[in-house]
Amino acid sequence: MFMHNKRLQYTVRVTESNPGLANLMLEQFGGPQGELAAATRYFNQYLAEDDPGRKDMLIDIATEELSHLEVIGTIVAMLNKGAKGRISEGVGTQAELYRSITGAGNDSHLTQVLYGGAPAYTNSAGVPWSAAYIDSIGDPTCDLRSNIAAEARAKIIYERLINCTTDPGVREALGFLMTREIAHQQSFEKALYSIQPNFPPGKMPGMPEFSNVYFNMSTGDGDQSGPWNKDPTFQFREAQTAVDGGTGLPQVKVSAEEAKVMQQAAQRLKSNLSRDPVTGAMLGMDGGQAAE
């Protein structure tokens, strides 16, 4: 079950209304790297997890992400307070009101007019939140790696948001949220490396003749050698076709009846290489004279 405490996990202090900044903050409310996506992702994994330790960790972090959603949503609502009052009471002329809520040069009017100043489940560009942001696949070694990457991306977004404001209270609250992304990365990494072995993901091994091969698929100026493509881990090979030793041509076995039908279709759709037909585009180029 869930229980809610009306006090925030971190105290939010906003010194002035700023609808433009509020709109940017929506990236961490309803965006792909945001707190709602994180909470639902980890909650999904918690429900399917069989390991008691990882299960406990996932629900703890999922619930904390809901707390972070509340913090970032509160920041959005507080930044919108002044403009919300002006809109609801119709203060000022229409043109002045529009300029006041779009003065930051972004689409803050979307959250102001369409949602009345409340935090919307969209990103900062107005794109609705989507369950497609949840990429859990049900294998802990895959999901934990995805979680680590998700927390890393969220930290970068928080860094960028901090750099977008001089409001000390907002910067402090965002700094807390950013720091918790670091803590969660560490928890997920510890959980991943407590599984031995954890690579490659899944149960089936790779084909040994290809597991440690690096194919140089892009050649020319800029080719670089590093630990990602050389000994002792990798055998470096130039790009080649049919690495399996076959012809590299697709093959399929079909029944005699299917082969007959396929041949009929091929004959019916065969190109006539002896013709050079006049096309509609050619007719349009010379005003129809080509048809004469």
Domain spans, the chain: 19-193
**118 or 142: which carries more pLDDT confidence?**
142
pLDDT over 90 percentage in the chain: 77
Alpha carbon distance 276, 258 (integer Å): 33
Asked if residues 220 and 213 have their Cβ atoms less than 8 Å apart, the reply is: no
Alpha carbon distance 235, 215 (integer Å): 9
Query: For 34-61, how does the pLDDT look when each residue is reduced to its tens digit (9 = 90+)?
Result: 999 999 999 999 999 999 999 999 999 9
The pair of structure tokens assigned to 260 is: 């007959």
Alpha carbon distance 174, 155 (integer Å): 10
Three-state secondary structure call for residue 91: coil
CA of 132: how far to CAs of 3, 36, 78, 242, in Å? 27, 12, 29, 36
Alpha carbon distance 255, 162 (integer Å): 65
Q: What is the average pLDDT score of the chain?
A: 89
**235 residue type, one letter:** Q
Domain 19-193 CATH assignment equals 3.40.50.920: no
The pair of structure tokens assigned to 231 is: 């000994």
Alpha carbon distance 163, 80 (integer Å): 19
Query: For 192-241, how does the pLDDT look when each residue is reduced to its tens digit (9 = 90+)?
Result: 999 999 999 999 999 999 999 999 999 999 999 999 999 999 999 999 99
Contacts of 38 (CB under 8 A, 6+ apart): 62, 65, 68, 150, 151, 154
